[in-house]
Chains A and B, each alone.
Chain A
Amino acid sequence: MSDATDTTGSDATETEHAGFTDPDDAEVVAPGMTLVEEDEEFERLERQTDEGDQLLTQHSEIVVTGGPWPEVEGESQTMIINMGPQHPSTHGVLRIMLELDGETVVRAKPVIGYLHTGMEKTGEQLTYVQGGTNVTRMDYASPIANELVFAMAVERLLDVEVPERAVWIRMLLAELSRMASHLLFQATNGMDLGAVSMMLYGWREREETLRVLELITGLRMNHNFVRPGGVAADLPDGWQLACLDLCEIVERGISEYDELLTGNPIWLERMVGVGVITTEEALALSASGPILRSTGFAWDLRKTQPYLAYDDVDFDVIYTENGDCFDRYRIRLFEIAESIKIVRQCVERMPAGDFRVQDKKVTPPPRARIDESMEALIHHFKLFTEGFRVPAGETYVAVESPRGEVGCYLVSDGTGKPARMHVRGPSFYNLQSMHPMISERMVADGVAIVSSVDPIMGEVDR
């Protein structure tokens, strides 16, 4: 080794790569290699040599792998490549145009619209009673959030106050939905990054959550359970036990994910420092939800602009400082735990009372009344065919969905159907924020970044 230290220049014979791993011999580099000073850079080289692919030949100074790439003289050429629309990691039909300089992404442009089915136009054809079936299909991974925001917008225009029990049922469902959505993220995020067993684990717990949602609402997805004026039905027998059992199952699940992934070196390698976005960028690009919170900005509408009974329950807003993919993964993992906290409080403190407002204008008569009263039958029929009229006006209501702020801008012209029903899908705006995350990163990081944005194309394209 000491001989090697004295020899410099092109005659350097490095038969072993010890010279790269020992900081004392740092100045011994084969010509063509850059002298490595910083520890970070050094570690990088060390890792590359340890991979076993490195080959130092006797007389030439070429390092076959791991060495710096020769600089191309003149203008570098960029290439545009399409990722998607049928790429397994794009969560549906998202296409991203990547402008590449070698393997580095210069620019990324999401191309959307493949799932556009004109749901906002459909919303103008449906009555306010039917509207829920439409909006629930926008963000199909957390349908309750969309139903909730639509119902709240209609209620604001109607000036209807929802009974307390309905509020708590809505909150319970919203949190169950959040759990299901974040569990789905854990599954798909794991799968996107090659942790395929994670997909099964995440799906397993999500399925349990959907089972409880099915018990309460009757459907696994697209529930149409939150209706203007309350919810569709009261909670079924045994819901408390089902919810508490679920909490235990999911708690066990997330501690398993935590053990499996959080300290995993490969996981860290793929996620830490990848896809960094700053608070300023996130705010300017209208990003919300976990993306904004990962930048160190604790903004959660449940806390900052409380709706339902969120100011009455105890939970924490999870936020981290680094704004990278790993932080977004961690935020979603810990948010599941916070949702479990809220679900437990809902079970404990669920108030008694009516599950929908007793306002004949918006509420259908009870099923039993229909058999005995002609008026009730007519009332029921009118409500479900013609719907109810909503006073002319406009309003914007926002709630915190698992992906960020989902808002509903509703314009009524005094008839039974909305004049305009616009839903602000958080994924629509979050997708834009991908650009600062992905530029100057490698292509392979693109998959991790798309996954960490967690877009649901249904609400992007609507």
Chain B
Amino acid sequence: MADDAAQATDEDAREEVHEVVPPWDEVAAALWERFDGAVFHDSHGQAVVYLDRTHWADAATMLRDDEQFTSCIDMTVVDHLVDAERVVVPGVGPARYEVVANLLSHPRNRRIRLITEVPADDTTVASITAVYPGMNFAEREAYDMFGIEFTGHPDLTRILMPDDWVGHPLRKDDAPARVPVTFKGDPGPR
């Protein structure tokens, strides 16, 4: 009985999430069918799908192979350490980092945004450079700026900051002016 009830509530929850997927967005529906825990969100008229971290690369592969998403147009990370307010989509467990990828289907002339939550204590996500080679630089930038490690990336090194830089500048706890500005030949404070 108890099991049945639990199952029923699970299914109800699933039904509820499914109802959130509007009929116009078939790609989001396909992602929802395929991956557990995928949540659709309509963000100012743009289709956004929140995915579990483990499905990140698979979702990219699926979008490229089955849904004609020819380009991953952009990838970036958001650090939600100190947000005053945060839009928490129902069904998504918010974590400190969000990896955001904007994909574009040229044949279908439409976009979709994939977001995955990355906790602060385990900042690894699967690399999608094998699916979208154009994300090579973007993932390096995300690593450089936020310290997100993309497993399977061919050359995960710093891209914008110097190789010996310590820290990840775009993290919210990496304050600007942490490193004092020095000028060559500057005698220093008197």
Contact = CB atoms under 8 A, between A and B. Distances in A.
B43 A393 contact: yes
A392 B71 CA distance: 28
B78 A411 contact: yes
Nearest to B100: A409
- Which of A285, A297, A394, A462 is packed against the most chain B CB atoms within 10 Å? A394
B136 interface: yes
Contacts of B113: 396
A159 B160 CA distance: 34
Given A112-B159, A407-B73, A392 B134 contact: no
A419 B46 contact: no
A457 to B, nearest CB: 11
Interface in B19-67: 43-44, 46, 48
A372 to B, nearest CB: 36
Interface in B74-90: 74, 76, 78-80, 83-87
A304 B135 CA distance: 23
Please name the 5 residue pairs, one residue from A and one from B, whose CB atoms are nearest each other, closest first.
A286-B134, A414-B85, A113-B160, A413-B83, A424-B74
B176 A125 contact: yes
B136 A420 contact: no
Nearest to A115: B160
Interface of A: 112-113, 116, 118, 120-121, 125, 156-157, 159, 283-288, 297, 299, 304-305, 392-396, 398, 405, 407, 409, 411, 413-415, 419-420, 422, 424, 428-429, 431-433, 461-462
A396 B74 contact: yes
16 contacts: A118-B169, A125-B176, A156-B44, A284-B70, A284-B134, A288-B73, A394-B43, A394-B87, A396-B74, A407-B74, A413-B83, A413-B86, A424-B74, A429-B134, A432-B136, A432-B137
Interface residues of B, number: 41
Contacts of B92: none
B85 A392 contact: yes
Given A392-B85, A419-B83, A405 B73 contact: yes
B85 A413 contact: yes
Contacts of B170: 120-121
B106 interface: yes
Given A112-B159, A304-B109, A420-B78, A396 B87 contact: no
Contacts of B161: 113, 116
A286 B84 CA distance: 34
B134 A395 contact: no
B93 interface: no
A418 B182 CA distance: 29
Contact of A157 (B44, B72, B136, B137): B44
A287 to B, nearest CB: 7
Given A392-B83, A424-B73, 9 more contacts: A112-B160, A394-B87, A395-B43, A396-B102, A407-B74, A407-B102, A411-B78, A413-B84, A415-B85
A283 B106 contact: yes
Contact of B84 (A288, A409, A414): A414
A431 B140 CA distance: 14
Contact of B137 (A396, A405, A429): A429
A305 B132 CA distance: 22
A80 B134 CA distance: 24
A283 B85 contact: no
B133 interface: yes
Taking each of B76, B102, B158, B170, which has the highest tally of chain A beta carbons within 10 Å of its own beta carbon?
Answer: B76
B73 A113 contact: no
A254 to B, nearest CB: 29
Interface hub of A287, A304, A395 (most chain B Cβ within 10 A): A395
A113 B159 contact: yes
Contact of A422 (B76, B132, B159): B76
A461 B141 CA distance: 10
Contacts of B87: 392-394
Given A283-B70, A286-B71, A405-B73, A297 B106 contact: yes
B26 to A, nearest CB: 18
Nearest to B134: A286
B79 A420 contact: yes
Contacts of B78: 394, 411, 419-420
Contacts of B106: 283, 297, 299
A356 B172 CA distance: 34
Contacts of A415: 84-85
A270 to B, nearest CB: 28
Contacts of B132: 284, 286
A297 B159 CA distance: 30
Interface string B118-141: 000000000000001111111001
B185 to A, nearest CB: 21
B80 A409 contact: no
A245 to B, nearest CB: 38
A86 B90 CA distance: 52
B43 A121 contact: no
B75 to A, nearest CB: 9
Contacts of B133: 284-285, 432
Contacts of A297: 106
Contacts of A304: 109
Contacts of A428: 137-138, 141
